[in-house]
Every structure is written in structure tokens, then in C-alpha cells.
Amino acid sequence: MTSSPLRLAINGASGRMGQALLSLLRVDGRYELAHAVVSPGSVHDGEPVWLGQGLRYAHDWSRAPSLDAVIDFSGPAGLTAALEHCLAHGIPLVTGTTGLDAAQQARLDAAGTRIALLRAANFSLGVALLSRLLREAAAAMPEWDLEIVEAHHGRKQDAPSGTALALGHAAAAARGTTLEASAVYSREGRTGERVPGSIGFAVVRGGDIVGEHQALLIGQGERLELGHRATDRTIFARGALQAARWLVGRAAGHWQLEDVFAPLG
């Protein structure tokens, strides 16, 4: 017996991630696109999502049908509207939206007591596994020096990347400290000796690099390298879809992309 397709809403449907998700949904029978939300005033508002089909882009949630999950890659205002709809109807929410202010972050934190919620800076399943492996390695080798190197295309606006910072936070927590206390973001001139326990970051920008992250654990006479290289942007959309499928039926709470994997060992 085949199960019914998972009914999804995509919030931020006209953005780069939204369009990548729509492309996958069009050919994957495990899912049904039930609602596609764009920002108010969008040129896509009211247009057909796919030619020859009845579903149209909408700028709000007033006519949203019954949903199994919502995937959000919009912006702070868009996430706020989606979150209110999910809370009102008990719908699981997967979100990759960043840039929230303190009040929005607090609202999102509180929402985890009422709905299943999964938020990630990077929806690559490989990066999620890298984070788990780095946390274990950092805890197992607490005296080894740790450096995180990341590379992205030349158009990227921030540095280090959100993923690199997330890796740093995971490693710092595994060692019983915080990234705020241990991070070194730049080295120039006479820096002096490396501070024991610090976590260094290095950044590469150029060309069309999709995303590369490498964690170097460096001991005396040996080095452990854990890395991930993305070559196709659709991996992030695939990861978000898998996260949504996994999240349906879970208890209320804040879940991590790492939770999608079965426990190691």
C-alpha cells in the first residue's frame, strides 16, 4: 500500500531556495505542493506556480489548505507569518531563515513548546553529519588545535559562513566552552603563539564555489581532517525535504538536522 503524498507549503517560494524546492516537488511523487507563499507585492503573487495547473502563488496564509508541514526560506517577516499559521494549526515547521531580531528569536524559541520545529543554517545532510563527527572528534581530542577553513563564491556577503560558525559552536560546546570565548577570526602581523584551546577560522572567496568546509584537528605529529564539499545547490533543497518528511509526527520541540540520522554506534 502506498502512503499519501506529504502535503507541503513552501514559504518564500519565489526565492532561490524556494524555486529549487518547487523543481524537486514537481517530479517527486512523495510530496504534494499545496500552498506556495511569496512576499506581499511580489510580481509572482496570483500567478500560476506551474503552467497548466491550478495552484497559484499567494501572499498570505488566509487560504492555505490542510498541510502536513511548512518549509520556510523567506525572511524575518515571512517567517513570522508562517510561524503564526503553524502555531494556530499545529503544523511542523522547517526553516532556514536567518536575520531574526531578539523578539523574533524569542518567539521562535517559545514555539518549540507547541510544535515540532527544525531550524538549520545549512540543509546539507553531509554538513549535518560533519557537525556530528566534529563534535565527537573535538571532545575526544581536547588538546588538539582546531582550525576551520571555509570557501564560497565571490558574491557571498558574510564571513565566516554561518555553517562555519555552526561547526565552531558545535566543537566549542563539545569541549565545554563557547565560541565567543575561544574563536580567533583573523591573524595578521606579530600575533604571538597560538592560544591553547582557541578555534581559528580562515576564509576563501572566489569564483563559483558552492560551499566547502574543512575542520582540521592538529596534534603533535599527526592531523585529522574532516571536510565537506558541495558541488550542487539542490542538495540544500533535498535536505529540507527530507527534514520535513522526518519531522512530521514528531513531538513538539526544537529538532536538529543531525536528528534525521540514526544514532551512530
| Cα 71–Cα 75–Cα 76 angle in degrees, nearest 5 | 105
Q: Which helix (H) or strand (E) holds 184?
A: strand 183-184
Nearest to 7 by CA among 39, 40, 36, 44: 36
152 assigned to active site: yes
Q: Residue 119 in contact with residue 128, Cβ under 8 Å? A: no
Nearest to 39 by CA among 3, 8, 75: 75
What stretches of the chain show up as alpha helix (H) in DSSP? 16-27, 76-89, 102-111, 125-140, 162-174, 179-182, 234-247
Active-site position among 44, 59, 156, 254: 156
213 assigned to active site: no
Q: Are strands 253-255 and 145-152 parallel, antiparallel or unpaired?
A: unpaired
Active-site position among 35, 152, 213, 228: 152
| Cα 29–Cα 116–Cα 50 angle in degrees, nearest 5 | 30
Give the residue numbers marked as catalytic: 152, 156
